[in-house]
Amino acid sequence: MPVKATSGSSLRAPLRLVCAALGLAALALHPGSALADIFTYTDADGTVHFSNRRTGDGRFKLYIKGDDKGGASKRAGVAPVAPSDKSLERFSRYDAWIRQAAALYQIPEELVRAVIKCESDYDPRAVSPVGAQGLMQLMPETALRMQVRDAFDARENIFGGTRYLRILANLFNGDLDLTIAGYNAGEGAVMRYGGIPPYEETQAYVTRVRTYYARYRTTRDATVASIEP
């Protein structure tokens, strides 16, 4: 898969990926082109297959819708809800679920915390202008893919968001920066540009998540690490 590694950081876990009907490569090499739908299925051996077109094989299901979030600023019909919970207790309220999800999906607990901090500042009621919801700001389409029934349910949201991080980490061969960029801009955008997309928001997001990731790894007290520097 023509995705450029941008750091030595790794979130590797065993999963085999196969790019079928390699239109994916063409998309990644032509940033100006429209992003096609991407379809996937997992075979009996656990190998994940991708295609950028329907192949007549009924096993392929839609994985990425052919759009690009880079220019999106607001989605029609969305009523944004800014994070408003200012209690220090919120930084430790979800500890058990964060640990469970991190262990289940083999994602560093500190990365899950960093994403929650940067996405919603630990407020499960938050809604972004484009419609992302809850602690880990899942888009409705992503929540559906991650089998999250209620994105405002803190436990469901944490498990769904962490599962998505695991999928992204596997898709991008454990590369931390690409995993974080994919969480913000969508895996399709990362594949399209062959690296971190050239969006100011995404580039700033990668830096911010990495900053908090480092803080959570070096500061034992999650509440202290969560407070804005």
pLDDT tens-place string over residues 40-74: 777 777 666 666 555 667 787 765 554 444 445 56
- Let me know if residue 227 belongs to a domain: no
Structure tokens at 50: 């991708």
For residues 179, 130, 65, 31, the Cα torsion angle rounded to the nearest 10 degrees is -60
- Positions marked active-site: 119
Residue 191 lies in a domain: yes
Residue 180 scores a pLDDT above 60: yes
For residue 149, what is the DSSP state? S
Backbone φ and ψ for 48, nearest 5 degrees, come out as: -95, 125
Residue 4 resides in a domain: no
Within 10 Å of residue 30's Cβ, how many Cβ atoms? Answer: 12
pLDDT of residue 42: 75
Residue range(s) defining the domain that contains residue 184: 16-67+79-222
The answer, yes or no, to whether residue 173 has pLDDT greater than 90, is yes
CATH code, domain carrying 90: 1.10.530.10
Residue 6 lies in a domain: no
Examine residue 9 and state whether it is found in any structural domain, yes or no.
Answer: no
Task: Report whether pLDDT(8) > 50.
Answer: no
Total of domains in the chain: 1
**Could you tell me if residue 228 is inside a domain?**
no
Residue 220 clears pLDDT 60, i.e. is over it: yes
